[in-house]
Every structure is written in structure tokens, then in C-alpha cells.
Structure 1
Amino acid sequence: MRILLYYLCGVFAAAQLGKLAALSPLMSRELHLGLAAMAALISLLEVCGALLGGVAGRWLPRLGLRRALSLAVLALATGAAAAAFAQDVRALAAARLLESLGYLAIVVAAPVLIARAAEGPRQAAALALWSTFVPVGMALGAWAYANAAGLAGWRPAQALSVVGGVLLWIGLRRLPSDTRSASVDQGRPPGRTGLLLWALVAAFGAYAIAEVGLLALLPSLLTQGGMPLATAGSWTAIAALANVPASAVGAWLLRRHGALSPTIAVGMTLSLLLSGLLFLAVMRDGGAATMQAPLAVAINAASGVFPCLVFALLPLAAGTPERLALASGRLTQFGASGALIGPPLVGAVVERWGWSAAGGLCLVLSALAVPLALLAWRRLAPRAHAGVATPTTARGVATPASIVRREP
């Protein structure tokens, strides 16, 4: 129950990405906002993560991760309520920044709480589930808010966020406290994390630039190839959701072979290189949209294995309970930075050199992530042999014994 509730908090946060994308046509028409202004408002949800991810990972444990999660869902609800009454772009931006703070707290705290709530082989499946929260939330948000706005308008549609945030807050408040272990939240902020963690999060950042850049520009690519906008939007949603079955494959690999198995290193390498090569087939000048669309789905089906494995390796990369929140914050910072950089960077390359050049850029980014990910994986082995990981997790994700303590 705990794991499902924490996961739903992540889905709720990601739904706020899909929300503004769905509501933007109605909002821009009523408030006379241009495309650039709406794009900036959508991306503002990632700003706090990009700027403050590391800081949040350092200080949220002092507040208490459960408490931070409760405040975060209320921040999303409050931001949505403020947006419903906004009369200009400045008010919308202020509301979006409040939502951004809530989003940041959720994506930092929730995976740490999930890692502590799951034990042994269950942790691989739990973190694999968490790795799907963005595509699931975006797809659910785009569908729910578009339908609500079609029935009642974009302002009343914001009530979905208000109701959702309040319900999640009630659910978090009703969770029983677990007093079987002491909390680490009252300790001092953790210290330096080392090359292992930096390599892992940098690989994730490179992956995010390429993946988000593709998804953001995929409707434009497909419509340029003659595909209707509605059909292009549907293919984009399918491509995003292709990460979900890919995460199940990653969880199966972790459960069967263990996080330190060479199979995991091979899985990360194949996931990144196969998707990187597919970028060349999808993002090219003069391509046929009917071929590019299913290949874009294949990209996400292949690359989706990688983030699943990254989240599963994160507890080992952190090494101690105090550093797990910091590790989650660093991962959030690099992922959010990639999400912010990806669309404008890929778009600028397309405008200057064409789609084929953008495909080459995404291949380079995917290839760059490979040695970084392998470096992080390789450095985990000495930790395990030194006794950081428990011997009972050989067939599941190798979980540091000190990290699986539960959050009270």
C-alpha cells in the first residue's frame, strides 16, 4: 500500500506536465498567449528540479521525506487552484513555479521512500514501477485534463489537480507510522558522493536530453511528413507509454540476474545503443511519417530499459541512507536539466542543419551515456565485495542493508 501510494504521488506530479499541454490551446486563446509563452509555462515545471535538485536531496531529509511528500501534493493542488483564477501570464507563471516546487519534492522524496518500503527482490520491481511514473502520468494527465476542459473549460479542469492533491494528502496522513527502525531524517546533510554517482546521473542526463528532445518534437516531425496532427499526437503518446513494458523487462533482468551481473551492463549498453541507432532512422530529412512513427515507439521501447536499471542501481550508488536522498536529488537535477535542454537544443539543430543532424546528435548523446553508465556499474562491484550489499540479494537488486530501513 505504501509503495502504491508513493507511486501515485509521482503519477500525479507527472500529470501536471500533461495537464498544461492539454489545456494550452484554450488558455492561450483566452489569455492571448503565444506559443513561446505557453511552451515556457509548460517547461517551468522542471525549473526547480534543474536548479535545486541537489539542494532538495540534501535538505528534504531534514524536513522528513513523508512530511515533504505531503506538503508537495498540497503545493500542486494550491498551484492548480491559483492557475484557475489567473488573469495573465505572470500569475500563471507564479502558480506554475509553486507546482514546480511540489514536483521537485515528489520526485526526490518518493523514490527514496519506495526504496525503503521495499526489501530484497521486491525493491527491483518497486523501483522499476517508479521509473514509469513520467510516461504514465503525462498520458493520464493529457487525457483527463483534455476531456475535463472539453466539458467545462480549462479553469474548472484545474479542479482535478486540487481534488487529486487533497486525496493524496489524506492518504499520506493516514499511513501508519513504522517505529521498527529509527529515521535518518534528523541527521546532518550527507557529504560528497563521489565519481560513481556523478557518472550514473550524468548518463541519465544525456539520455533525458535525447529522449525528451524526440518526444517534444515528434508531432512536428510527423506532421511535416504529412500525418494529421491528431494522429501524430496519438503516436507520440504511444511512444511515451512504450517505456512501461520496457521497465518490466528491466525489472525481470534485475530479478533474474542481480544488479551487479554483467547482464545488467550488457542490458544498459544495448538499450542505449539500439535506441541511439534508431534515432538516425526516425529523425531524418525526407522520411516517411508512416515509418518514423512506429520506429519512434521502438526507440522508447528500447531505451526504456535504461532508466529502470538506473533507478534500481541508485540505492547502491548512494551507499548510505543519508546519501540516498542526495542521490535522488542529483538524479532529479540531471533528469530535469535534460528535459529543459533537450527540446530547445534539438530544435535548434533541426532549424540550422536539419532533422538528420538532430538524429546524429541524439545518437552521440546515447553513445556518451554508455561509458558513463558502465563506469558507475563497474565501480559498484568493489562496494559489494567490501560488504556494502547484503548477501541475500544475489538474485534480486543488490540492496544496501542500511538503506532498506523504513521511513517512519
Structure 2
Amino acid sequence: MTTSKSDTVDSASPTVTQWPAIVNVLFAGIAVALHVGKATIALPELQREFGRSLESLSWIISAFPFIGVFGGIAAGLLVRRWGDRLLLSLGLVIVSLASFAGAMQHVFAGLIVTRVVEGIGFVIVVVAAPTVLTRVVAPQKRNLVFSIWSTFMPAGIALSLFFGPHFAGWQQSWVAGGALTLLAALLLPLTTPRGTITLSSAPAIKLRQALLSIMRARQPLLLALIFTTYNLQFFAVMAFLPIFLMQRIGLTLAAAGGVSAAVIAVNILGNLAAGVLLSRGLRARTLLAVVSTFMGLAGAGVFLSITPNGLLVPLCLLFSGIGGMLPATILAATPAAAPEPTLIPLSLGLVMQGIYLGQVIGPVVLSALVAYAGWTAPSVLVLSAAVLGSALALSLTTKAR
């Protein structure tokens, strides 16, 4: 099949929704999200094995996405040049091999290095996957499919938190995650057609010119910053939720993992609800502003010392369920916010850098606040991020819907 410049534009607006490809892309997303949750549930065991403080161990979580703060746009450029399916496969293989290597580490520094490599693969996947979806989903199904896609993170983390305590050691969790990620990569060529947005088919445009075009559009940058405030809240609560529940109300590791898995799984309901609301015409800016505010109030309540222990889990469920509407809305709005179809990968890359920034800052800042001021201090962080997110959402135009 030959390609042309017109093919590049057409690929962003397919007439038929290709469900086998969508299922495989979702499986790929869940598989890489397992590698986020596996570190969270393994923290107590890693603390015993390596004898590190909570602040030091937070880098096992934050080192994973750290590369994404700087690599999102670079991943978007590679997707645009080499094709989304090729880059999605490459990202999955990188995550898989790094996870296998991590399972063999007995030195803390070595484990951190493998987590950084996993982060490289992860950022490639989360930029390439939505680009694949953009060209295999008909416009009328986009809000629905992107709300489904946004469930990959809570689904993968929840699975890790639920099954993690049942492995005979954290190394088995690393190996299992690597195997599932490799399976997703092997299935991809069987279900997903090759993309047309490549160096030979895309209109010639320099990186600097492309970035200036995206920045002038403002909407992708605003969406990226809103994603930062969301993930700052989400990972400030979720990254240490098992340890928090163990210390605050005395749950066992298995019980804390089960509760944390349920809390994160509720996030999926919010993802799907956002798709329904957007499909019925609710404006993205309105949904983002309202949801960010209520998410912040619920999250702050989790850490307040005056909150009764009996309300902690319900507040966590409310926080996660409401918050799930944010990523689905942002991801659905990004393709429309891109200045032109060929800049969708770079726009997605910028938005992913936003989510990574919050994911890096959240656990590190929270662990520092807890170390110096106790578990009540993070309430200020969560509420501040919520207010900022609401203000940014109200700055969006109607185009980013």
C-alpha cells in the first residue's frame, strides 16, 4: 500500500473502529501499568531487603517515570518518524527486558537503573498507544474508546496491588509483569495495522516549528499541566496507600493491598463515566474544573487527623472514583487540541510529560512531608494541586473538548 500526505490526515479520521486493535492496545497499557503498581505493593518487602528509608525507597517509584518528564515529546517525535505500531512494540519490549533484569538485582542502585529503563519503555508506550487509537477509532467512537483506554493505569495498578502480596517474593512479580508485557508486544502485529504517520509520509516540519505550533495553540500545554495536577494528587495518595493504611489503622500487607486495589479499581468507573458525559455534550473544561475540586477535597480528607478511621476507605474510594474522570477527559480532548493531525503524537507526548511530572513529584514530596510533619501534611499538597487544576481547566477553550 502506498502512502501520501493525504493518507496522514485521513489516518486521523478512520471510518471504521477496529476493535481487535483497541483490545490489544488496552492490554498493552494494562501490562505496562502493572510495573507501576508492582513497586508500590513491594515497598515493605524492599524496605526489609535493602534496609532503606521511605524517602529513599520512593525513588523506586519515581525513578520509573522520571524519564517521562523529559522524554514525552521525544517519544512523540519518534512515533511520528517511525510509526506508532513499531514504537509501541519497541516500548513494550524495553519494559519487559528491564523488568526481567530488575528481578535479578540484589543491589539497590542496580534496581533503580532498571526502573529508569522501564520508564523509557513506559513513556514510549503511553505516547504511541493513543496515537494508534486515534487512527483505528472512528470519530463518533473517540470519547468512548479513550475513556476505555484511560482505564489502563488504574486497572494495571489494581491488578498489581491485588496479586502482588501473593507472589513468593518481589522478584516473581517483576518476572510476571515482564512476561505479560512481552506477550502484548508479540500479539500487536497480529491485531493492529501498520500506521501511515511516518517520516516518508508526514508533511516535512522541523521539530522547533512543530513545538512552536503546539505552544501557540496553548491547549495541549494546558492539558499537560492539568494532568500534572491530577497525577500529583493521585500518586500522592496512592503511592503509599498500603503503608498508610498499615500504619494508620493497622491492616496487614495483604489486607492493605486488597483495599488499595479496590480503591484504584474504582478509578475505572470514573474513566468510563467521563466518556458517557462527554458523549452527551458536557464540555471538557467544566468537567475538569468540577472534578479536580471535589477530588482535592476528598484527598485532603484522607490525611486529616480529625477524619475517623471508619471514613478513610470510603474517602479513598470517592477520591479515586471522582478522579478517574480527569485522565479520560484529558486524553479524549488532546487529539482535538492538536494544531493539526500530524502533530497529535507530539501533543500526546507533551501531555504525557505532564502526567509524568506529577507522578515524579507526588511520591517524593509526599514522603518528605510525611518524614518531617507526619501523615496530616499531605492534605495541603493535595488541596493546592486541586485548586490549581481547576483554574487551569477554566482556561481551556471550547476546542479542547
**TM tier, smaller:** 0.7 to 0.9
Amino acid corresponding to residue 300 of structure 1 in structure 2: S
Matches within 5 A, 1:282-293: 282-293=302-313
Amino acid corresponding to residue 240 of structure 1 in structure 2: I
Following superposition, the deviation at residue 38 of structure 1 comes to 3.5
Closer, same or farther: CA 361–31 of 1 in aligned 2, 3 Å: closer
Question: Are 1:211 and 2:239 an aligned pair?
Answer: no
Question: Are 1:130 and 2:149 an aligned pair?
Answer: yes
1:174 to 161, 186, 190: 190
Following superposition, the deviation at residue 191 of structure 1 comes to 3.4
Taking the aligned partners of 2:50 and 2:376, their CA distance within structure 1 comes to 37
Q: Using the TM superposition, name which of 332-341 and 87-96 deviates more.
A: 87-96
Question: Are 1:335 and 2:355 an aligned pair?
Answer: yes
Question: Are 1:93 and 2:112 an aligned pair?
Answer: yes
Closer, same or farther: CA 224–80 of 1 in aligned 2, 3 Å: closer
- Residue in structure 1 matched with residue 12 of structure 2 by the alignment: none
- Residue in structure 2 matched with residue 139 of structure 1 by the alignment: 158
TM-score (normalizing by structure 2): 0.84
- Residue in structure 1 matched with residue 135 of structure 2 by the alignment: 116
Taking the aligned partners of 1:319 and 1:46, their CA distance within structure 2 comes to 27
Q: For residues 2-26 of structure 1, what are the alpha-carbon distances to aligned partners after superposition, in whole Å with 9 as ceiling and x for unaligned? A: 0111111111111011223344455
4+ aligned runs moved over 6 Å, structure 1: none
TM-score (normalizing by structure 1): 0.83
Taking the aligned partners of 2:139 and 2:329, their CA distance within structure 1 comes to 15
- Residue in structure 2 matched with residue 247 of structure 1 by the alignment: 271
- Residue in structure 2 matched with residue 256 of structure 1 by the alignment: 280
Q: CA RMSD in A?
A: 2.5
- Residue in structure 2 matched with residue 403 of structure 1 by the alignment: none
Following superposition, the deviation at residue 96 of structure 1 comes to 2.0
Taking the aligned partners of 1:24 and 1:206, their CA distance within structure 2 comes to 24
Is contact 1:225-1:287 (8 Å) kept? no
Taking the aligned partners of 1:167 and 1:35, their CA distance within structure 2 comes to 33
Taking the aligned partners of 1:96 and 1:76, their CA distance within structure 2 comes to 9
Question: Are 1:318 and 2:338 an aligned pair?
Answer: yes
Amino acid corresponding to residue 274 of structure 1 in structure 2: F
Closer, same or farther: CA 178–9 of 1 in aligned 2, 3 Å: closer
- Residue in structure 1 matched with residue 16 of structure 2 by the alignment: none
Amino acid corresponding to residue 148 of structure 2 in structure 1: L
Following superposition, the deviation at residue 156 of structure 1 comes to 4.5
Following superposition, the deviation at residue 72 of structure 1 comes to 1.1
- Residue in structure 1 matched with residue 258 of structure 2 by the alignment: 234
Q: For residues 135-163 of structure 1, what are the alpha-carbon distances to aligned partners after superposition, in whole Å with 9 as ceiling and x for unaligned? A: 1011112334443x32xx44444332342
Following superposition, the deviation at residue 313 of structure 1 comes to 0.5
Report percent identity of matched pairs: 24
Taking the aligned partners of 2:302 and 2:103, their CA distance within structure 1 comes to 38
Number of residues paired by the alignment? 372
Matches within 5 A, 1:5-404: 5-27=24-46, 29-30=48-49, 35-147=54-166, 149-150=167-168, 153-175=169-191, 177=193, 182-186=196-200, 187=202, 188=205, 189=207, 190-192=210-212, 193=214, 194=216, 195-230=218-253, 231-257=255-281, 261-262=282-283, 264-353=284-373, 355-376=375-396, 378-380=397-399
Following superposition, the deviation at residue 360 of structure 1 comes to 3.1
Following superposition, the deviation at residue 272 of structure 1 comes to 1.4
Is contact 1:225-1:288 (8 Å) kept? no
Unaligned runs of 5+ in 1: 382-397, 399-408
Closer, same or farther: CA 276–22 of 1 in aligned 2, 3 Å: closer
